[in-house]
A and B are shown apart, each in its own frame.
Chain A
Amino acid sequence: METTRFILSTSPHIRDPITTRKIMCQVIVALAPVTLYSVVIHGVHGFYVIVSSIAGALLGELAVQKGRRLPVTLDDCSALLTGLLLALTLPPKVNWWIALVAGLVATVLGKQVFGGLGHNLFNPALVGRAVAFVSWAAYMTAGYVKSAAIGIASTPAHKAIEKAVDVAGGASPLAAMKIVYDPSLSPVGPGGVPHGIQASSYYKPLLLANPWGCLGEVSALLLVLGGIYLAVTRIIDWRIPVIYVGTVAALTAITGRDPLFYTLAGGLLIGAIFMATDYTTSPLAPRGKVIYALGLGLVTWLLRFWSNNPEGVMFAILFMNGLVPIIDRYVLPRTYGKAARTKEASGP
């Protein structure tokens, strides 16, 4: 028999069909319902924001890779996902150019300066958001705007929401409840917050049609469904969102406030499901992930209740991102057959 060349490589000779691109695409699929619904609720301006943010992220990645003569990796869909995630953390009324700049910042400063995919310390989308948040604070405050103000016609969805808004007032639910619970810490007065508002009156709009928050906060239900999809397909580790949200809820309850409200309101769900689970910026090993998620819950709770801001998810995640190298250094699994972990070991 003739002996022609065979491929020679070391074992294993087969690979799981999963690829980076497939993973990113799965996350995008999980975000698709909430993205589409957001456009339905917030109208075409929301669509512009999303497109600008994605364009910024793709451009940033492309520019750096072209500039440094590196292979262009837009096809791994990671920059696309970063742009989309960023957009979903922006307020619907934000100017399109802010979204574009934030997108650029996300991939350039958030990812490429660290050395690209897998090397960044902080979640790129949140870096983009944080920069926009600090630079254009006035534009970035997410309050409810009547549809007329952003130039779109009222849809039946809008009418229903406006009715709900009339019940609950114009301020975001977290800001409203901050005024109710600790007026001393709240930077704004009680204007627009109906007297005697109950946290529970927000449940339904937060779950089904939330007009106050960022683009990605339109429906807690859709976010949770996306999260379940990702957990079942084993794209994300369920431990992070479950422990993170669980910690926030538990601490909230201990503080004597409504845990369900504080779970549904603000950026907690989108942050816990889609941001905190980012591979690169979360710990490698299971035990580290648990510690990280507990830390996230604790910091979020601290910021929400003991700072001037009603919300704390973004800074909590960025803060814990910064601790990941330390967690990865000290919290490694015990090797099979070793009595205990040999000294401390560090990652590359």
Chain B
Amino acid sequence: MRTVAGINAGWRKRIRGGVHPPDNKHYTAEKPITRMEAPELVAIPLRQHIGAPCSPKVKKGDRVLVGTVIGDSEAFVSAPVHSSVSGTVREIAPHPHPVGGESPAVIIENDGLYERDPSLQPSPWEDMGPEDIRRAVRAAGMVGLGGAAFPTHVKLAPPGEFPIDTVILNGAECEPFLTADYRLMLEQTEEVVEGLRIIMKAVGAPRAVIAVEDNKPLAVRKLAEVVRDPAIELRTLRTRYPQGAEKVLISNILGREVPSGGLPMHVGVVVNNVGTARAIAHYFRTGLPLVERVVTVTGSVIREPSNLLVPLGTSFAAAVEACGGFMSHPAKVIMGGPMMGLAQHTLEVPVVKGTSGILALSDREASYEVPREPVCIRCGRCVEACPMNLIPTYLAVFSHRERWEEARRLNINDCIECGCCAYACPTRNPIVQLIKFGKAELARLKAAEERRARERETSAGKEGGGGNH
């Protein structure tokens, strides 16, 4: 009875904005997570997170084990990278990266033994202080597994002036097609909840909310059975994209708005993805750092869409092969979901920490006509769809006409690039593409402005110095 009472199912508030794309989760929702073998060669990029890239800690010819640190950095905003297989380092070389271009990667010949690094030991988090937990989370190479790949230990270290009162565990998984988090909530419920408790301890939060969209009733029931702690509340949210976007989640659950340019901690909140929580718990239980993750390999052209536990560094090609390959040539291959994912130009790219899905779309699904010039019939659909309450059509037009100052005044930098506006637009305006371009241009202009200001300062300083002679 308490489990039912524990679910706040009355929460059906309509989020502002948002869209309702077909969720297409049927491809993989019923598929239990299965482990795949790593291919003969894995390519593990040294940059898999937001922040400073790692420098290699191994060299050509070294023997590495599962969990051996192969890259690390001194920077605070960074996370180490570990080997996902045992074997020999073949080389450290630029390799295609799913986030774009090429980036240095450690290429390892897999010996197929999966010998574990003996230094990997479970740690009893109940006996550890917040600082030790954070250090362990960093050592595990943990980053946000929802896709953003922000180093988790940084999130868990809010400065003292921003006390955290609530941890939100994000199980919304609002992107269409993706089911990795759903399967984790069903199959690894204990670890997910334990991970949440570890996070609560690390940030000193007295309460937590687990947020799940109401299209996942089985996961909600399973969580309700497992959650024993009265400080953890389970909440179902109306299914609507982008319900799982951090800022949307915070305002829907707590009624708080993250200030423009600010972070969730500024309103006393830390948001973590269920996958991250599960990986954290797994690390404390087994000592195994982040060397594998669940990836939803899906789409109409995949023979056997699956939720795969994939060793990091496995190529997309190998992951697709493990799902029976393509039934027909995909028109588009995406890392992540269809709303925010990144289109790939090759299947050589490796699965990285932020790879929540590999989505292959058919020609019919992926092609639509885009006007050469933005055409706007002023239907207002983008305005209604924008969860940030922006005027996407103006932002697109200003970016197109390179009127940066006006775009900035209309708060272009508050855009979370969720894609709702472009999804909803009947004229198929490439709104998000234009906004991204506008934001990048504004950032470039700002950097140039600051550089000029600095130069002025230094030259003024020199002149001042000269006058003293």
* Residues in chain A within 8 A of chain B (CB atoms): 1, 3-16, 18-20, 22-23, 117-118, 237, 279-280, 282, 284-286, 289, 332-339, 342-343, 345-348
Contact = CB atoms under 8 A, between A and B. Distances in A.
Contact of A336 (B21, B389, B419): B389
A1 B361 contact: no
14 contacts: A3-B317, A6-B333, A6-B344, A7-B332, A7-B343, A11-B339, A11-B417, A12-B338, A15-B368, A18-B426, A335-B260, A336-B389, A343-B409, A348-B397
Nearest to B366: A7
Interface in B237-270: 247, 251, 257-262
Contacts of B384: 286
B99 to A, nearest CB: 13
B125 interface: no
A27 to B, nearest CB: 12
A335 B389 contact: yes
B367 interface: yes
B423 interface: yes
B378 A20 contact: no
B375 interface: yes
B260 A10 contact: no
Contacts of A279: 377-380
A336 B426 contact: no
Contacts of B414: 335-338
Query: Which of B370, B387, B425 neighbours the largest number of chain A CB atoms within 10 Å of its CB?
Result: B425
B410 A345 contact: yes
B221 interface: no
A201 B227 CA distance: 68
A20 B377 contact: yes
Nearest to A22: B426
A118 B411 contact: no
Most A Cβ at <10 Å: residue of B333, B378, B432, B436: B378
B347 A3 contact: yes
A22 B414 CA distance: 32
Contacts of B344: 6
A275 to B, nearest CB: 15
B346 A3 contact: yes
Chain B contact residues: helix, strand, loop or mixed: loop
Contacts of A1: 317, 320-321, 325, 347
B367 A284 contact: no
B423 A15 contact: yes
B206 to A, nearest CB: 25
A210 B199 CA distance: 70
A7 B367 contact: yes
Given A13-B361, A279-B380, A337-B259, 8 more contacts: A3-B345, A3-B346, A11-B339, A12-B339, A16-B423, A285-B380, A336-B387, A339-B259
Given A1-B317, A10-B436, A15-B422, A347 B394 contact: yes
B378 A118 contact: yes
Nearest to A343: B409
A9 B383 CA distance: 23
Interface string B394-423: 100110010100100111001001011011
B107 interface: no
A304 B338 CA distance: 52
Contacts of B347: 1, 3
A5 B390 CA distance: 35
B388 interface: yes
Contact of B383 (A4, A12, A284): A284
A9 B394 CA distance: 21
Nearest to A9: B343
B341 A11 contact: yes
A6 B345 contact: yes
A332 B428 CA distance: 23
A12 B432 contact: yes
Interface string B327-359: 001111110001111111111100000000001
B302 to A, nearest CB: 13
**Which of A10, A20, A23: most chain B CB closer than 10 A?**
A10
Nearest to A71: B372
Contacts of A335: 260, 388-390, 411, 414
Contacts of A284: 378, 380, 383, 391, 393
A5 B332 CA distance: 9
Contacts of A285: 380, 383, 391
A284 B392 CA distance: 11
Contacts of B388: 335-337
Contacts of B378: 118, 279-280, 282, 284
A280 B427 CA distance: 13
Contacts of B186: none
Contacts of A282: 378
A4 B345 contact: no
B423 A12 contact: yes
Contacts of A20: 375, 377, 426-427
A348 to B, nearest CB: 4
Q: Please provide the 7 A-B residue pairs with the shortest distance between their CB atoms, ordered closest to farther.
A: A12-B419, A337-B260, A1-B317, A333-B389, A348-B397, A10-B433, A279-B379
B18 interface: no
